[in-house]
Structure 1
Amino acid sequence: MPRVASLYLPQLAIDRLRAIEARAGKRPEAPADPHPPFTRSSSPNAVRPEPVEGPVRGPAPGLRQAQPERTEDGLIPNRSGGWRPGARWAQSPDAPEGSDPWLERRIAKKRAKRDELQAQIDQLPAHQRPAMRELGRRSEPAPMPFKAMPPDEGARAPRPPYNLEGAFWQQGAIMTRAVAEGMSRDRGSTHGHMPRTIAPLSPSHHPPFTVRFEQSREPATNAPLRLCSNRTVVEEETGPLVTAQKHGNKILVAAACPAAQALGLTPGMALTHARALVPGLDVRDADPAGDAAFLDRFADYAARRWSPAVMATGDGLWLDLTGTAHLFGGEAKTCARIRRFCARLGLSARIAVAETGRAANAMARHLPGPVTLLEPGREAEALAPLPLTCLGDEEHVTDAARRLGIDTVGDLMALPRGPLTRRFGRTLLRHLDQALGHRPEPLCPVIPTDAAEAEVRFLEPIATAEAIEEAIRHAMALLMAELAARGLGARAVTMLCRRVDGGDQVAGIGTARATRDAAHLLRLMRMRIEGIDPGFGIEAIRLVAIRSDPLGAQAIGGLVDDRPDLAPLVDQLAGRLGPRRLFRRAAVESDVPERSTTRITPLAEGAAWSTNWPRPVTLLRRPEPVANVLAELPDRPPKRFTWRGQPHRVTRGDGPERIYGEWWRGRREADAVRDYFRVEDDQGARFWLFRRGDGADGRTGDMSWHLHGLFG
């Protein structure tokens, strides 16, 4: 019996945009869920599982949802938000003063577990009991009831997530990080410092955000999923946000957040109309290509994790759960697991399971509950009250049917098929048959590709550098053959050496561009051999191309290409000095000098430098203040100044060149003005100085002088 799940992401564009802004340093916003977590469906046979599965906890018993009391001077005792165990305003009135029910339960649970372990140890013979050093610390402290201080307030920064490249047996899961590349990892991960309301996550699949399931004492309809990052829970609602895209001569709304939809804004509406309805509307550019690329990565991850047959649709996924749901505890727990993962990515999701993919797709998009499980053979009864658009037909077909009074799927099923075929064609009835299971619907699954790898095993362990180099040479030849068969070139190669004691030695190299030159890669890997500790011997060596790019034939300008190939030199310098110490400077479109340059890789092509205005050869990272400046206002260069304790007398000067601040970045730059001067002192040194302010309006600057660069 086939079972297909349809995962619907109603706010994919909005949630992805907010996640990108959160990584950029802005406050993360919670994806709103306007639908109640579990409500009754119009179909009497739709089964609703429990919304949360696993170790999900809510507020401690005895706590009430109350605002914190203010002291006599008007200050709130708990400034960090949330509740603090032991606080007077967070305790129940009938609880004894100074008690904390949650803390007492945790301590009692730890004591019971310790007593059970001690009883097992006492049953062992004396010579088999573990030593004290093997047991570690036997007296565990009480759990810390207070929140950890954020890193930006002086606390120690949390350690980064677990490195997948550090374990031999986890290399097969390296490519599963593809879904997180579009929303990269959060550098402030709470791995190792998990809050008490969060279930520990697998280190090999650490999400970019941490989700907190808040379960209040109210009904489940008021408990949406909340997104948090770096232990910060977003409490307040966000303003209306829409994305816009140009269609012909019009600019239309591509996606709207739930807050915007509640104000009457819908996708497809003209942007001018939306701005007239909601003044101050937050509008962003739509990125359909980025959304599609993220969805493809998500489908690749799902095919590796939940089901081997996954197909990406325009706004979600289809997953074939036939024969796989029991691996996760059933369909209900599988759906709950998928929704929790989507919540960790910051995505609001609804999912439905039925015998056909089109029926599951219709229920996921038109039923209010986040999870809907349909019993086998009940598709017709469940689809009957749904609108005709749930079948996925074109808009002109559904409009024509609506003019004839066919509004729901039930109305369509009650009519004879012959006249419907002559009037609407075969597509409408074919979709209906596919939804009811009368006609098969092919599923075009994504095929995840594993990273190219090569492994060499030995009859006897090896330990010398010469033997390791010869083994790497043989494994590199096998890896290059595998890459050539796929039409790829290696950009990053990781070597894993398994020792006889079970330990792994890891080393990696990278290249500036894709290559299949085995000799060049062997030279780079040879520099890593000295850092390998063979121990009692190495029994296997494995090479994995963790990053690869397409590599094919390239056209050249003539019969002979005289341009030197700098890629091997760049790779060797980066291998010795480090990849971050080898870079080039490229121009960025910005009038502010400190923002007009950026770092790029040595072989990357950057933007052309502007020649409209002269710029110094050496630009200081930050402008340095100068003292004892003597200059005539408002637009004359300085006569003398002191920089780094050294006085300079100016003999020549040119300027000013006025540069205005980028007003869209903030209020501080709305009226900011800089007047730049090129000056030369009596020793022949040339400097680039500027004065804050125009000399007439005090809002433009404080009239202080700074040195920003040095000419050659």
Structure 2
Amino acid sequence: MLGIWAALRPQRSTRESCTPIDLQSLAIWALQYSPRVAVLEEAVLIEVGASARLFGGLAQLRLRIEAEGTALGVEAVAWAPSATAALALMRAGLSDGFAGPLPSLLDKLPLETITAVASHQGTLQRLGCRTLGDVRKLPRGGLSRRFDKELLARLDQAYGLRPEVYEWVQLPETFSARLEFQYRVEHAPALMYGARRLLMQMSSWLAARHMGVTAFTLRWAHDAMRGKTAGTGGELTVGTAEPTQSVEHLSRLLNEHLAKVELLAPAGDIELLACQTIPIQQESKSLLPETIRQGEATWLVLERVQARIGKDDVVRPLLWADHRPEWMQRWPGAQEPLPRATPGVYELPLPDWVLDEPLRLAERGNRPIYQGPLVLLLGPDRVEGGWWHRVGDGAEEDQCNVQRDYWIAQSEHAGRLWIFQRRLANDETGWFLHGRYT
């Protein structure tokens, strides 16, 4: 299934002062952006298509993930419509799988970018294959007989032709993370270099759990060559006045406390634990006042909104007992009394989306066409009524009276559709698209 996938690979070298972040810690960090996070081979995969709008759009989310990932120790990030494609592009040193058609981008990649293909690299090279595109040109029947099923499956998944199934990373109930230094730290303030990375991981864990921390503990372990009186290590617990997720605030607070600490021996590694957390009230994106979530009556809120933007601009949806879809909803003013009614019972399930105006469909052999021939699945469900409805002049009165046979139809490209055939003797007959199922 195509989406918006990112593949992130942590640093593998040890040139920096701290050990590289491990895959599990990186995956927990990624959970703040999406629940669809998996660990595959040397990378963390994250699908953000459903959550991009929550972070200001895909462009802003990509910048944020790449910037924060770099600070955590991520050395390569690649984006693509499928997870396998993102992983392959990352291995090839490319980053944008949306720069062009996915097949044309993947066809140029070498065989080793997909593990299932790389395991047969010797045989494939003897067949003249040097790229993924060369492998795709081989007869599928021969590939399936000569190689294992994994090769074709992973190729299809990379190109978006077969769904991908992963075991999603689960968010732990408590947070603790450890980091080892590549050198021995002799002064407590110098611990902040590694502690900030752990604070970023804790902040992401808090964001994913919608929690704020009110107390956390930093522990450090002394070097093995310590003196006998130094002990195995020490710890520092920091409390906050308010629950927070802010890395900057927590870093400043921890730095102030570390400035007063004197290490009894050089430290080799540190550990951060979230001691006390409580649910945090997130900023509301709603247009309605916050008081409505605190139990205030809806009519009181509507009165204030009317005073702000005008009485005519505040309406409310109400169901009305009418078989015609156009008249099943009424939108009276917020203060206009109108009894709530139950609409008529339909034989077919109603669609998720209804067009403002039915769309006339083309026909071939008296059969409806919409992005190809339509297959009628269920129906007909006859809807009649409206002769009693009087709106405007005579022309509009005729439009209120309907007699339609509704069907659920299947389109090869558009999915399930809600269509009807108009059957009034004194009106134009034909097929119309009125809704769509998601």
Is the structural similarity TM-score above 0.5?
A: no
| Structure 1 or 2: more strand by fraction | 2
Output the TM-score relative to the length of structure 1: 0.25
Larger radius of gyration: 1
Output the TM-score relative to the length of structure 2: 0.40
